[in-house]
């Protein structure tokens, strides 16, 4: 968390464009500075670990995402993403989420290095409000920004990516906060014909941290306990209808446990556009992910390692007020599998209504318009 002065300074910084959202610099443009300003209003109950906000009272939030890039030489781009948000319906946060350098030798070979989105699955490329057809996000695919190096490219019907990243693909608060440790990520996709893409990705490596006591680690190094995640994704577009689906399987080595703890997550998202301005969208998801945490009591130290199963649904309507302005309203609900083993940690499920207004902007376009007016 940083002071408000950090936000003011960062908004004026040129380096702010995200890897998954960096477009090619247009024509002779050497600099881009763009962003999205979001306003949201939430009304929830208090029955959900996932959906409840502001103690069940109506609350709002504001969010600013600013990204930019500068091309220092042909194909060599420095970029970054700054985000700040605050309001009754969210925790205050203000930081540079992402920054790095990209070198594009050709469409077949693109190199990125820096703080990048974890390249598991495909939702990271659609996390911004002007690309996400709904307001929420799949719980099983949280967007993370580890340090890493990434090589990617596409040729004809095939695309690929390979990376080394510093953090695992974990769900916050359901496993110990991980220490940084390098791990590989690989992925590939095939587009047999226009409108259909099938892909997959895989990662493996340590997921615990170096602060866990040796007694809880069965006298082994924390890096010897691995997490493995295998993910598959599908995207289909036919006429005015779009479908995106992902499924991921994970397994975790747990100290003092002979077998790995496994989990499964998936979602399916559909969108239908009635007119260029109006669309309806829905997302159905399930997350049966592991809850793995060490505990210390007067009776000794032990691990809790079990799966937490829930499903959620979100239905929404979107209306494009103008080219850069998008309004949405959504309803979301979830249901958790509560039993004697997890009733101390989870609630049965609840509901949430949300309204969002998003405004995209392009600072360089503003400057060009001002110059044009001045030249008249």
173 vs 4, higher pLDDT: 173
The answer to whether 138 touches 285, Cβ cutoff 8 Å, is yes
From CA 71, how far away is CA 76, in angstroms rounded?
Answer: 6
Please write the tens of the pLDDT for every residue from 82-100: 999 999 999 999 999 999 9
In this prediction, residues 276-281 reach a mean pLDDT of 97
> Is the pLDDT assigned to residue 18 strictly greater than 60?
no
From CA 109, how far away is CA 214, in angstroms rounded?
Answer: 43
pLDDT band at 165 (very low <50, low <70, confident <90, very high): very high
Show the tokens assigned to 287.
């997350």
Please write the tens of the pLDDT for every residue from 213-260: 888 998 899 999 999 999 999 999 999 999 999 999 999 999 988 899
**Number of structural domains in the chain:** 1
Residues of the domain holding 230: 4-375
The residue assigned the tokens 């989420």 is 97
- Give me the CATH number covering residue 260: 2.40.160.10
Average pLDDT, the chain: 89
Can you point out the beta strands (E) in 87-220?
93-106, 109-115, 147-155, 158-165, 183-193, 196-206
Give me the phi and psi of 145, to 5 degrees please: -125, 80
Model-level pTM?
0.86
Please write the tens of the pLDDT for every residue from 94-139: 999 999 999 999 999 999 999 999 999 899 989 999 999 999 999 9
pLDDT band at 29 (very low <50, low <70, confident <90, very high): low
């Amino acid at each position: 968390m940083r002071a408000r002065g950090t936000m003011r300074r960062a908004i004026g910084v040129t380096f702010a464009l995200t890897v998954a959202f960096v477009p090619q610099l247009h024509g002779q443009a050497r600099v881009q500075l763009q962003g999205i300003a979001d306003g949201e209003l939430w009304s929830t109950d208090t029955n959900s670990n996932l959906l409840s906000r502001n103690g069940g009272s109506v609350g709002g939030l504001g969010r600013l995402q600013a990204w930019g890039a500068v091309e220092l030489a042909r194909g060599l781009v420095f970029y970054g993403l700054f985000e700040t948000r605050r309001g009754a319906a969210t925790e205050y946060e203000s930081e540079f989420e992402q920054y790095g350098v990209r070198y594009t030798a050709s469409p077949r070979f693109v190199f990125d290095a820096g703080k990048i989105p974890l390249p598991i699955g495909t939702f990271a490329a659609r996390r911004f409000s002007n690309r996400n057809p709904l307001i929420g996000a799949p719980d099983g695919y949280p967007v993370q920004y580890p340090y890493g190096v990434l090589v990617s490219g596409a040729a004809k019907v095939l695309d690929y990516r390979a990376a080394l990243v510093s953090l695992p693909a974990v769900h916050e608060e359901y496993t110990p906060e991980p220490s940084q440790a390098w791990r590989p990520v690989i992925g590939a996709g095939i587009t047999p014909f226009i409108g259909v893409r099938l892909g997959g990705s895989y990662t493996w490596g340590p997921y615990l941290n170096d602060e866990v006591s040796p007694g809880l680690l069965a006298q082994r190094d924390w890096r010897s306990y691995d997490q493995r995640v295998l993910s598959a994704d599908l995207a289909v577009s036919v006429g005015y209808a779009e479908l995106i689906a992902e499924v991921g399987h994970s397994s975790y080595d747990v100290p003092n446990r002979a077998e790995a703890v496994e989990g499964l997550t998936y979602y399916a998202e559909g969108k239908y556009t009635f007119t260029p301005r109006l669309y309806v969208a829905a997302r159905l998801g399930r997350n049966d992910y592991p809850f793995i945490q060490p505990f210390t009591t007067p009776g000794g130290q032990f691990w809790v390692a079990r799966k937490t199963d829930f499903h959620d649904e979100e239905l929404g309507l979107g209306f494009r007020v103008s080219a850069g302005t998008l309004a949405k309203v959504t309803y979301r609900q979830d249901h958790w599998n509560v039993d004697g083993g997890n009733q101390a940690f989870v609630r049965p499920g609840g509901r949430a209504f949300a309204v969002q207004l998003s405004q995209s902007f392009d600072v360089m376009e503003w400057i060009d318009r001002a110059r044009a007016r001045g030249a008249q």
